[in-house]
Amino acid sequence: MYCLSLCPIVAQDSIVYDIRSGLSHWIVSDVLQDRQGFMWFATWNGLNRFDGYEFVQIKVKPGDGTNIRSEVIREARMDEEGNIVCRTDAGLFRLDLGNYQMEDVQGPAVAEMFLSNKEKPFKDNESNLWKVGRYGITKIHRVHNPAQLVHGTEKVQARAFFKDKDHRWWLATKEDECIRIYDNNNTLIGFLGQDGCIHSEKTVFGYRAYNLFQHSNGDIWIGCKPGALLRLQKKADGTYDIARINVYESLNTLECDIVYHMAEDSAGRLWIASFGGGVYCLPEPEVEQPSCITFTVGNDMEKRDKVRRILLTDSGHIICATTNGLLVARIDQENICRTTFRRLVRDGKREASLCNNATMDVCRDKEGRIFIATENNGIDMITEESLFSEIPQFTHFNQNNSSLTSDACLAMTMREDGHLFVVCTDRVIDFCPDSNQTVTYSRTFWNKNSHFSEERPLQLFDGSWLFGQEQGAYIASLHSLQTRGYIPPLVFTKLSINGQPSNPAICLKDTLVIQPEERNFSLSFAALDYTDNSNICYRTRLNHSAWSGVDRNRSLTFFDLQPGEHLLAVQSTDRYGRWIDNTRELLIVVLPRWYETVWARYLGGLLTICIITIVVASIFYVRNLHRQRRELLERYMTLLGTSEKISKKGENTPQTLLTGELKINDRKFLERVTRYIEENISNSDANIDDMASQVATSRSNLNRKLRSLVGITATQLLIEARMQKAKQLLQDTDNIEQLNVTDIAFQCGYADAKYFSRCFKQKFGSTPTEFVIRK
């Protein structure tokens, strides 16, 4: 027996940074690292700050109050306060990292800093080496991949694996056509040969195994591509009797024999997923030559599907992932031949339909939810009840609406804790559907050329996980999956307001004050990892809201941010794609414009209340004034022409009734107007000029005064009086035979009876005749 050799990927790599990388000069004279973690390079064109992504040049500015005459830096040192002191041919200067301001320095104490030699090459906090060269600077770093390559599987695809009942696990590789067997301590037992023996030396099995499965009766089944379905029955001496099962000879049509997956139902039947021949079932897999049953999809008797995975549920359902949607059926337990599949595909008119027809895998959690991995649209989730309803309702998880970092899924495994290990083309995602949280194990966790195979991850006996790649099999221990190593500090790197040049001093602030005219600004940030930051992802949130989507974007842009305090939080993964506790928070205080202040809002509210109060009071005043005028006019009209009748009854005189709220002058004014109207109401030649003359005022003043008292002009008042007179005369008419419209018109000052009738109808809605009849 041989111990399993796990090969941790540790190597050295180097990167050269020069002008093309962003350095301000190709001659670099010195290297430093500050307390925040930034790398600093002293060049012949000033200082350069490096965050692992880009360089920022720090130079003197006109009018900054310094007398620095040269920025050709020969050496640089870090003083006790953490500031950078630079020596040039023209003297010394210091960059205060507390405010990013340069200042002249001198004195023997400062000069003594340059008497001792620095250790070269420079070693940073991550033990990377920085070598100053003639045309730039070279970084030498260790490449470490936590996942361990299974020795002997280099450059061959790990295509299938499983755990048997003897506490061993099997690994089938594609190109070398080998099947390796390991014990529960991950010790290599040997290689399975065509003779059924386990050989200590590398032995070719002779078939490309695509699926390994052990039946409840102990038989091991191997599905191959191409052309073989093998059954292994263990003998007493520990070797295997290998038989090729020719199930296809009993079929009437030519079927595909590429086996991708196998599963056993509660009755012990073996279900086979073939890639091009649909779904088969072996009702009695233990017999020497099992018979085979094929199935149709609806009324399609000819077409055979390319099936990748089979899921059998406890309720007797079968769900198959194919290249053309899902195949689902309820297994007919009495007569399995009557089982008919139904196809579920994407419906572009229905949002809750299957998201993609190219389905790769299907699995089920403890709660009975079904998860479907698709080739390029993420994962769908559905309950078993809904899946077998008339209109299934799928829930979608993809890069647009969840924390998944890839939609290209190849396989997945449901873990005991309810998380999914989702295998994508170049990464593995630990996805929790309930909390929508993910941990992405990117290429740097495995190797720089990661390309995963379609096999499901397998948890080994020691708790570690086995993953298949095109380049071999990899084991990730629980320690490597759960433990975080170097935690890169997360810093804000640049602040740009209204498109102006950026301010690198933002890295020092925990509070950012934004003036009212500065509400359009951008913030940049970075996790300071100089070993490998190519796969670091970021997410952000504002004011404790939900985290944003995960990506490699390192900047945020705000447009017209509302006044007040806003808490911005940024978090990153480590170099392997795992989330770490390095959340950086920045309090953004946006100052309000003058009209957005509390006092302005208070005064605005008070002004609004005052305006509303004035408007409401004015409305009530006008309404009350109109009411008073209308009442006065009604009293006036009632009294016109009735003086004698009132006097005979001993009631109040008109002059008495017009008193009350009126002033003496206004009462006398109305008495004069009343006298003129009573004396001339039957005079068709009566006019406003004569009325104004009798009242002893001008025509315009007469109209103005009447409007203020009764709300109408003199002409309107005369017409109103005549209409009221006519109405009174018509009311005194006993019957229609006594009606003489012409006489009434003359008595009311109208020479034309027809014109009088039109005016009466316009006022009261009926002709004089109709008025008398209706009375």
Backbone angles phi, psi at 418, to 5 degrees: 85, 0
DSSP-derived secondary structure letter, 81: T
Over range 547-558, report the average pLDDT: 90
Cis status, amide bond into 121, omega within 30 of 0: yes
Please tell me the least confidently modeled range out of 159-168, 218-227, 678-687.
Answer: 678-687
Sheet holding 342-344, edge to edge: 307-312, 317-322, 325-330, 342-344
Sign of CA dihedral 352, 354, 356, 359: positive
In this predicted structure, what is the pLDDT of residue 256? Answer: 60
Angle of helix 714-731 relative to helix 664-680, nearest 10 degrees?
60
Cis status, amide bond into 516, omega within 30 of 0: no
In this predicted structure, what is the pLDDT of residue 656? Answer: 47
Q: Residue 663 and residue 675: Cα distance in Å, rounded? A: 18
In this predicted structure, what is the pLDDT of residue 262? Answer: 95
- 3-state DSSP assignment of residue 670: helix
- When pLDDT is cut at 50, 70 and 90, the band that residue 169 belongs to is very high
- When pLDDT is cut at 50, 70 and 90, the band that residue 196 belongs to is very high
**How does pLDDT run across 569-583, given as a tens digit for each residue?**
999 999 888 889 999
In this predicted structure, what is the pLDDT of residue 437? Answer: 86
Please tell me the least confidently modeled range out of 262-276, 339-353, 634-648.
Answer: 634-648
Over range 540-554, report the average pLDDT: 90
Angle of helix 598-639 relative to helix 664-680, nearest 10 degrees?
40
Determine the Cα angle at 165 with ends 283 and 309, to 5°: 50
In this predicted structure, what is the pLDDT of residue 746? Answer: 87
- Residue 627 CB-half CA count within 13 A: 6
Contact 353, 346 (CB under 8 A): yes
In this predicted structure, what is the pLDDT of residue 571? Answer: 95
Backbone angles phi, psi at 428, to 5 degrees: -125, 135
In this predicted structure, what is the pLDDT of residue 660? Answer: 52
**How does pLDDT run across 365-424, given as a tens digit for each residue?**
999 999 999 999 999 999 999 999 999 999 999 988 888 889 999 999 999 999 999 999
In this predicted structure, what is the pLDDT of residue 12? Answer: 78
Q: Residue 126 and residue 33: Cα distance in Å, rounded? A: 11
Helix or strand run (H / E) with residue 56: strand 55-58
Helix or strand run (H / E) with residue 359: strand 359-364
In this predicted structure, what is the pLDDT of residue 736? Answer: 58
Find residue 584's DSSP bridge partners. Answer: 570
In this predicted structure, what is the pLDDT of residue 9? Answer: 52
Please tell me the least confidently modeled range out of 421-425, 444-448, 495-499, 724-728.
Answer: 724-728
Cα–chain center distance at 517 = 28
Q: Residue 86 and residue 342: Cα distance in Å, rounded? A: 76
Q: Pick 700 or 656 by higher pLDDT.
A: 700
In this predicted structure, what is the pLDDT of residue 737? Answer: 62
Please tell me the least confidently modeled range out of 41-55, 214-228, 627-641.
Answer: 627-641
666, 668, 671, 673: CA torsion to nearest 10? -70
Backbone angles phi, psi at 731, to 5 degrees: -70, -30
- The b/e string for 640-657 (b: 16+ C-beta within 10 A; e otherwise) is bbbeeebeeeeeeebeee
Of 164, 169, 179, 165, the residue nearest 223 (C-alpha): 179
Q: Residue 105 and residue 602: Cα distance in Å, rounded? A: 53
Give yes or no for residue 214 having a pLDDT over 50.
yes
- DSSP-derived pairing of the beta strands 511-514 and 584-590: parallel
End-to-end CA distance of the chain: 126
In this predicted structure, what is the pLDDT of residue 452? Answer: 96
Of 709, 673, 713, the residue nearest 691 (C-alpha): 673
DSSP-derived secondary structure letter, 296: -
Over range 45-53, report the average pLDDT: 95
Alpha helices in 338-435 (DSSP H): 384-387
- DSSP-derived pairing of the beta strands 158-163 and 136-150: unpaired
In this predicted structure, what is the pLDDT of residue 255? Answer: 52
Pair of tokens at residue 446 = 């495995």
Helix or strand run (H / E) with residue 702: helix 699-710
Q: Residue 586 and residue 493: Cα distance in Å, rounded? A: 12
Backbone angles phi, psi at 325, to 5 degrees: 90, -165
In this predicted structure, what is the pLDDT of residue 251? Answer: 47
Q: Residue 342 and residue 329: Cα distance in Å, rounded? A: 6
In this predicted structure, what is the pLDDT of residue 420? Answer: 95
Burial group, residue 334, by CB count within 10 angstroms (0-12, 13-18, 19+): exposed
- When pLDDT is cut at 50, 70 and 90, the band that residue 641 belongs to is low
Contact 655, 643 (CB under 8 A): no
In this predicted structure, what is the pLDDT of residue 739? Answer: 66
- When pLDDT is cut at 50, 70 and 90, the band that residue 455 belongs to is very high
Cis status, amide bond into 488, omega within 30 of 0: no
Give yes or no for residue 639 having a pLDDT over 70.
no
Q: Residue 395 and residue 383: Cα distance in Å, rounded? A: 10
| Mean confidence (pLDDT) of the chain | 87
Of 77, 91, 94, the residue nearest 34 (C-alpha): 77
Q: Residue 214 and residue 220: Cα distance in Å, rounded? A: 4
Over range 337-347, report the average pLDDT: 93
Q: Residue 493 and residue 264: Cα distance in Å, rounded? A: 57
Q: Residue 423 and residue 408: Cα distance in Å, rounded? A: 9
Q: Pick 235 or 709 by higher pLDDT.
A: 235
In this predicted structure, what is the pLDDT of residue 130? Answer: 95
**How does pLDDT run across 612-631, given as a tens digit for each residue?**
999 999 888 888 877 777 77
In this predicted structure, what is the pLDDT of residue 722? Answer: 85
- The b/e string for 30-68 (b: 16+ C-beta within 10 A; e otherwise) is bbbbbeebbbbbbbbbbbbbbbbeebbbbebeeeeeeeb
Contact 4, 169 (CB under 8 A): no
CA distances to 12, 228, 428, 489, 535 from 576, rounded to whole Å, are 17, 40, 11, 15, 7
Q: Residue 718 and residue 706: Cα distance in Å, rounded? A: 11
Give yes or no for residue 294 having a pLDDT over 60.
yes
**How does pLDDT run across 17-38, given as a tens digit for each residue?**
999 999 999 999 999 999 999 9
Pair of tokens at residue 20 = 């093309």
- 3-state DSSP assignment of residue 257: coil
Give yes or no for residue 444 having a pLDDT over 50.
yes
Over range 498-509, report the average pLDDT: 85
Contact 291, 250 (CB under 8 A): yes
Q: Pick 568 or 639 by higher pLDDT.
A: 568
